[in-house]
Amino acid sequence: MTQDGIAARLKTLRRDVGDPVDAFIADSWTLEFDLALRPELAESVHQAVQLAKTSSRKPERLAKIVEKASETYAGWKEASLSATEIAVKIYQPVHDKEASKAEVAEQLAAILRKRSDTPEQMRDRLPPYLVRAIDYVTGGYVPGAPAIAADPEDEEVGVAGMHGAAAAGA
29 vs 109: which has the higher pLDDT: 109
Give the chain's mean pLDDT: 81
Q: What is the 3-state secondary structure (H, E, C) of 5-46?
A: HHHHHHHHHHHHHCCCCCCCCCCCCCHHHHHHHCCCCHHHHH
Q: What is the pLDDT of residue 1?
A: 67
Between residues 43 and 156, the one the model is more confident about: 43
Residue 61 carries which side chain, given as an amino acid letter?
Answer: R
Cβ-contact 23, 13 below 8 angstroms = yes
Per residue in 49-99, pLDDT (tens digit) is 999 999 888 999 999 999 999 999 999 999 999 999 999 999 999 999 999
Domain spans of the chain? 1-27+127-170, 30-119
Helix axis angle, 83-95 relative to 59-78, nearest 10°? 140
Confidence category of residue 103, pLDDT binned at 50, 70, 90:
very high
pLDDT at 152: 46
Given a contact cutoff of 8 angstroms between Cβ atoms, the answer to whether 37 and 164 are in contact is yes
Q: What is the pLDDT of residues 123-148, one digit of tens each?
A: 899 998 899 888 888 877 565 555 44
Share of the chain above pLDDT 90, in %: 51
Q: Is the pLDDT of residue 19 over 70?
A: no
Tell me how crowded residue 30 is: count the other CB atoms within 10 A of its CB: 14
Tell me, what's the pLDDT at 17?
Answer: 63
Amino acid at 2: T
